[in-house]
Structure formats: structure tokens, C-alpha cells
A and B are shown apart, each in its own frame.
Chain A
């Protein structure tokens, strides 16, 4: 987020401000509604949405603040069992998926160990899942899968949101990691989340890429180096 002279990049700051405004606007609106609510079940639903929206904002802010600390190399990389992280993250974001009436499916069970940082991997995965949930509609399914090559593990998050225009897709791909670009056809998705995910993946000697699908939706893929420690046994 800082340029070569250590100054914060203005476009990223502006994008962050825009993105953080949206959930705050929603929180304000929900609290206005709660003020006048006299139906207990309706009030409970509004309260649930306030909680979920504020948690989303906190995740975004948390990811952003970690990005600022990357340059200080404060995140030690070590072997991480990816399956455990995936299951934990899915549990954490499940309430939001339930509220949006969408399903998250973990399609791979093979045990894989990568070299990374637990917190950074969690943030990347939470960001991609949040994006997918926001891009989808009720009854949508999101699939998480991972496959191991010789050197890298590829963790894929596939959503079935709307079709992305090819020009928009090229714009996303050319800007990943270079600026907090929004996703024009997916206003509720987080360009900032993709920016943070790209930075974290790069820090862990991995990468982030995306594929758009002809029938709709996107797959975001995070590649991370496989741990060779288990080969010693």
C-alpha cells in the first residue's frame, strides 16, 4: 500500500474509503430500521444482519492493516495443513452464507501441506468466499477445491454468479495486485479484498489468478508452494 518512498498510495486509499463506506451505510440503515421495529422476529433478523455486516467490515479492515505490515516481514512462513484452514474458514463464514441462502461445498479432502502463514491464508480465503457470496444470489453454490502439482497447491473458489464481460475480466486480471480495483459487474464484491489477497499470495511466494466462465461465475485460484517437509519421512 506504500510507494517506493513509503507514502500511502492514494488510489488504494480512495478505493478503501469507498469500500468501507458501503457496509457502514448499510449498518446505519439497519439501525434506523431497528429503531422503529416492533416485531420480535423482524428485530432478530435485523440484528443478525447488523452483526454479519459489521463482521464483514472488520475482516476487510483487518486484511488492510495486515497489508500495511507486509513490508516489515512480520509474517513467518511455515508448513500449514490446508484442509484444517479451509474447514475453519468455512465455519466462520457459514452464518453469512446461511443469511444469504447460499451453500459452500468443500470438494477436496486430500491432505495437503503448504508453506505459508495461517493468518494470511485465512484472510485470502475469507476474502474470496466473501466475494463469491456477494456475487451470488439465493440458492447459489460455491465450490472450494484444491489440487497439488509438483511444486504448488492450487486452491480454487468457484462461484456461479453472473457472467462477466470479457473486457471487465481483462481489466480485473491486468489490475490484480496493482490497485484496489472494483469489479464493475459485481458492485457488492470487494476489489479491495482481491487486492489484499493478491498481496498476501505474493508474499507467501504464491499467486492469485481468475477465470471467468461462459455460463456465468468466476473461479479465483490461489497458488501456494507445497511443503516438502513431509518428504523427509
Chain B
């Protein structure tokens, strides 16, 4: 199963990749690179941070919602600011589940999948 991590903290993303054994993992650190990475890497799951450089995740989710051919991609939000966002707003954009970085483990993702 392919997981694409979108997080501008490269150390966090690399460390998370190191913990996700059993998955094929790609990393994107800039919001502008998400769509090209989706086309190239063809992930099954997107682990998306909410606060990114250049563009925030809501802008991406808005655009994502308009592409019918991408709706099989499962999106999970993984963010330190998870509790600051309205979960319903995120699920309206197609986010399957919201995780807080403070207590996230790979087992939690496996259970969610």
C-alpha cells in the first residue's frame, strides 16, 4: 500500500516514514507539489498536515474535491493543529479521519485503514 506524506517539516516526515514499515512511503514538503506527486507516485493514502508553506491544506482540499478521478484516494489529516480545525469541515472535503501528531502511531493508521 502506498502512503504519501505531505508535511513541510522534513525531519518529522522522514521520521514518520521510518516508522511506517510495511508501506511504500513518499514524502512531499510543499503543497504545490502534491498534485504532481499524486500523478507520479499514485498513492492509496494521503497523510496530510494542515499548515504548510506556500498554501494551506484547505486550499488543496478545495481543489482536490473538484477532481472526480482522484476520489478513490483516501485522505487522513495528521497535524499538531488538528484540534483547532472543525472536523466536520474537513470531512466535508473528503478527509476520512483526523489524527493529532501528539499521539499518532503507525498502529493507529493501520487500525483506521
Chain A residues within CB distance 8 Å of chain B: 18, 21-22, 24-26, 28-30, 32-33, 36-37, 42, 46, 49, 53, 162, 185-188
Question: From A31, which residue of chain B is reached at the shortest CB distance?
Answer: B15
Instruction: Give every chain A residue within 8 A of B62 (Cβ-Cβ).
Output: none
SS class, residues of chain A in contact with chain B: helix
Instruction: Give every chain B residue within 8 A of A22 (Cβ-Cβ).
Output: 9, 80
State which residues 6-59 of B face A: CB under 8 Å. Answer: 8-9, 11-12, 15-16, 18-19, 21, 51-54
Q: Bound state CA distance, A109 and B21, in angstroms?
A: 50
Assess the B15–A46 pair: CB atoms within 8 A. Answer: yes
Assess the B11–A26 pair: CB atoms within 8 A. Answer: yes
Known: A26-B9, A49-B11, A188-B8. A32 touches B52 (CB 8 A): no
Known: A25-B102, A162-B53, A188-B9. A33 touches B15 (CB 8 A): yes
How many pairs of A and B residues are in contact by the CB < 8 Å rule? 51
Instruction: Give every chain B residue within 8 A of A29 (Cβ-Cβ).
Output: 12, 15-16, 19, 101
Instruction: Give every chain A residue within 8 A of B18 (Cβ-Cβ).
Output: 33, 36-37, 42, 46
Assess the B51–A187 pair: CB atoms within 8 A. Answer: yes
Assess the A32–B102 pair: CB atoms within 8 A. Answer: no
Assess the A162–B81 pair: CB atoms within 8 A. Answer: no
Assess the B8–A32 pair: CB atoms within 8 A. Answer: no
Tally of B interface residues using CB under 8 Å: 18
SS class, residues of chain B in contact with chain A: loop
Instruction: Give every chain B residue within 8 A of A25 (Cβ-Cβ).
Output: 12, 80, 101-102
Chain B residues within CB distance 8 Å of chain A: 8-9, 11-12, 15-16, 18-19, 21, 51-54, 80-81, 101-102, 105
Instruction: Give every chain A residue within 8 A of B52 (Cβ-Cβ).
Output: 187
For the complex with contacts A29-B101, A33-B19, 13 further pairs of A-B residues with Cβ separation under 8 Å are A18-B80, A21-B80, A26-B15, A29-B15, A30-B11, A32-B15, A36-B18, A36-B19, A49-B11, A186-B53, A187-B53, A188-B9, A188-B53
Question: From B8, which residue of chain A is reached at the shortest CB distance?
Answer: A187
Contact of B102 among A28, A42, A185, A187 (CB under 8 A): A28
Question: From B52, which residue of chain A is reached at the shortest CB distance?
Answer: A187
Q: Bound state CA distance, A33 and B20, in angstroms?
A: 9
Q: Bound state CA distance, A49 and B52, in angstroms?
A: 21
Contact of A32 among B9, B19, B51, B81 (CB under 8 A): B19
